[in-house]
Amino acid sequence: MMERALSILSKEKPQDGPLLQVEGLTKFYGARIGCADVSFDLWPGEVLGIVGESGSGKSTLLSCLAGHLSPDRGRVIYAGRDTVSMAEPERRMLGRTDWAFVHQNPRDGLRMGVSAGGNVGERLMAVGARNYGAIREAASDWLGRVEISPGRIDDRPRQFSGGMQQRLQIARNLVTGPKLVFMDEPTGGLDVSVQARLLDLLRGLVRDMGLAVIIVTHDLAVARLLAHRLMVMKDGRVIEAGLTDQVLDDPQAAYTQLLVSSVLQV
Amino acid sequence: MIEIENLSKRFTLHNQGAAVIEVMTGAQLRVARGECVALTGQSGAGKSTLMRMIYGNYLAAGGSIRVGGLDVTRATPREVIALRRETLGYVSQFLRVVPRVPTRAVVAEPLLALGHAPGAAFARAEALLAQLNIPERLWGLSPTTFSGGEQQRVNIARGFAHGYPALLLDEPTASLDALNREVVLSLIEEAKARGAAIIGIFHDEAARARVADREIDVTGFTPRKAA
């Protein structure tokens, strides 16, 4: 069970105030804008959806937030510490403990030559878990949660379908009970039914663990069911932000109106 | 509990020649604790629009909407989320849920979100489902495959799971048979008795007459057409 998996880790008491504060975040690719002047606060337990078309800058923004790209301007304050100016080892430590990143392509987030159980267990070992039995039990439990038969614990990800690989990646990321999860189109490769199960799973985790999530998606139906708040991006800039159902049901900006009206009923 | 002052609403349709449609102006409304106010007016007069503005689903163009002291028109998303979790319930005409989530979990969710123990939350959910005559064999299934009337009852159970101090009810008795209509009306009466402020839309005139203390015709808030 989750409680058991978590007992391996040290828990800190939840802090008051935003978990993440982003101010004026800007990234250029040469003269071209990747993302510009993005500011927002994220609190524990909040799911922020970033929506927009391909090339709108949403993935660039996510990479800057998660420390995979260094922004040209702006600040990203996590639990009171500026992650833009902090030393690389410190940032990498955050990536192993407090943060998780679910990639669009599971091959970017998994070790393809390591067993499914190993992929999940490795994250636990990276934060200090050493008891083999407990690690394997946690791995097996998480495989079940993402609907991978525990009987496949010793199979390698390359023997899995694309959808199963993505579910494994999510298990690998969530097993350590991170506080902040970055997700880049996480449900893109999944069957609709598995997508639904994962949406439910994620909602439960957000509620029970006070997890904060930043999810980049072009799927407005996923955004509606998962995100509390939305930011709509176009050409690297946030053109509208607000409560998810308000942005989708009463969009103010011309672009958001076009985006929402282009989709079959969500 | 709910105080609306000089509220106005317009829609700007940027992709349809930037047409500006004024749909509401000068809306005033006060609902005290334990009081039920029915919104009336023809279809398209703005009853649901007003309700959606109170819930923070539609943005106001001007004026204020105070629910338990919070001005929804100026509140941050985070404040509106907290208001919806703790204070303001909404039973819409549509059930929107994550597919595959069992009915009892759909109904218990508002209580779990408030931090109630799962045992108590599920017990309350099941009591409401039983009261609303949803057969027990359906409780473990997702409501997405249910009939319209069953979905509506699930929606009502979910809306009444937590004792919200303020409630918005959009056609709560539509498409219900006499037996279930009676259950819903008694739930509304119980909510009033415990002090909830309720705003409802009831096309069912007998239901309206029974639970509503006052009626407000929203046609009075419709902007006069320019000559």
pLDDT digits (tens, 9 = 90+) for B171-213: 999 889 999 999 999 999 999 999 999 999 999 999 999 999 9
- CB of A253 within 8 Å of a chain B CB? The answer is yes
Q: Are B161 and B122 in contact (CB under 8 A)?
A: no
**For position A189, what pLDDT does the model report?**
66
**Residue B114 lies inside a defined structural domain of this protein:** no
| Count of CB atoms situated within 10 Å of the CB of B205 | 10
**Residue B43 lies inside a defined structural domain of this protein:** yes
**For position B227, what pLDDT does the model report?**
41
Q: How many residues are there in chain A?
A: 266
Give contacts of A207 with chain B, Cβ < 8 Å.
112-113
Give contacts of B51 with chain A, Cβ < 8 Å.
none
Give me the CATH number covering residue B211. 3.40.50.300
**Hunting for tokens 């249910």 — which residue is that?**
B146
Nearest to A246 among B11, B13, B59 (CB): B59
Nearest to B185, CA basis, from B172, B175, B170? B172
Nearest to B99 among A196, A228, A261 (CB): A196
Give contacts of A246 with chain B, Cβ < 8 Å.
56-59, 77
**Residue B41 lies inside a defined structural domain of this protein:** yes
| The pLDDT of residue B219 is above 80 | yes
Q: Are B131 and A224 in contact (CB under 8 A)?
A: no
| The pLDDT of residue B160 is above 50 | yes
Give contacts of A196 with chain B, Cβ < 8 Å.
98-101
- CB of A210 within 8 Å of a chain B CB? The answer is no
Q: How many CB pairs under 8 A join A and B?
A: 56
Return the residue in A146, A200, A202 with the most chain B beta carbons within 10 A, the one to mutate for interface testing. A200
H-helix or E-strand containing A231? Answer: strand A229-234
**For position B225, what pLDDT does the model report?**
62
**For position A264, what pLDDT does the model report?**
64
**Hunting for tokens 């101010």 — which residue is that?**
A23
Give contacts of A203 with chain B, Cβ < 8 Å.
98
| The pLDDT of residue B226 is above 70 | no
**Residue B100 lies inside a defined structural domain of this protein:** no
**Residue B178 lies inside a defined structural domain of this protein:** no
Q: How far apart are the first and last CA of chain B?
A: 38
Report residue B117 CA to chain centroid gap: 25
Query: Is B57's CB within 8 Å of A242's CB?
Result: no
**For position B93, what pLDDT does the model report?**
85
**Sign of torsion, CA B162 B168 B170 B174?**
positive
Domain that holds residue B215: 1-87+205-227
Nearest to B80 among A200, A243, A261 (CB): A243
Q: Are B104 and B125 in contact (CB under 8 A)?
A: yes
**For position A177, what pLDDT does the model report?**
85
Task: State the greatest distance between any 2 C-alpha atoms of chain A, in Å, as a whole number.
Answer: 56
pLDDT tens profile B9-56: 999 999 888 899 999 999 999 999 999 999 999 988 899 999 999 999
Query: Is A257's CB within 8 Å of B15's CB?
Result: yes
Q: Which residue of B has its CA nearest to A41?
A: B78
pLDDT tens profile B80-129: 999 999 999 999 888 888 788 899 999 999 999 999 999 999 999 999 99
Output the tens digit of pLDDT for each of chain A's 266 residues. Answer: 444 444 444 344 445 789 999 999 999 999 999 999 999 999 999 999 999 988 899 999 999 999 999 999 999 999 999 999 999 999 988 988 899 999 888 899 999 999 999 999 999 998 888 999 999 999 999 898 888 898 999 999 999 987 788 889 988 998 988 999 999 988 876 777 767 777 777 787 778 778 899 999 988 988 998 899 999 999 999 999 999 999 999 999 999 999 998 876 65
Alpha-carbon gap, residue B193 to B200, rounded angstroms: 16
**Residue B47 lies inside a defined structural domain of this protein:** yes
Query: How many helices and strands (H and E) does chain A possess?
Result: 11, 10
**For position A11, what pLDDT does the model report?**
40
**Residue B110 lies inside a defined structural domain of this protein:** no
Give contacts of A199 with chain B, Cβ < 8 Å.
98
Tally of domains in chain B: 1
Q: Is A132 exposed, middle or buried (0-12, 13-18, 19+ CB in 10 A)?
A: exposed
**Residue B10 lies inside a defined structural domain of this protein:** yes
| Interface residues from chain B to A (CB-CB < 8 Å) | 11-15, 52, 56-59, 77-78, 80-81, 96, 98-101, 112-113
Three-state SS string across chain B, please? CEEEEEEEEEEEECCCCCEEEEEEEEEEEEECCCCEEEEECCCCCCHHHHHHHHCCCCCCCEEEEEECCEECCCCCHHHHHHHHHHCEEEECCCCCCCCCCCHHHHHHHHHHHCCCCHHHHHHHHHHHHHHCCCCHHHCCCCHHHCCHHHHHHHHHHHHHHCCCCEEEEECCCCCCCHHHHHHHHHHHHHHHHCCCEEEEECCCHHHHHHHCCEEEEHHHHCCCCCC
Domains and CATH numbers, chain A: 2-17+44-51+87-232+239-253 (3.40.50.300)
- CB of A262 within 8 Å of a chain B CB? The answer is no
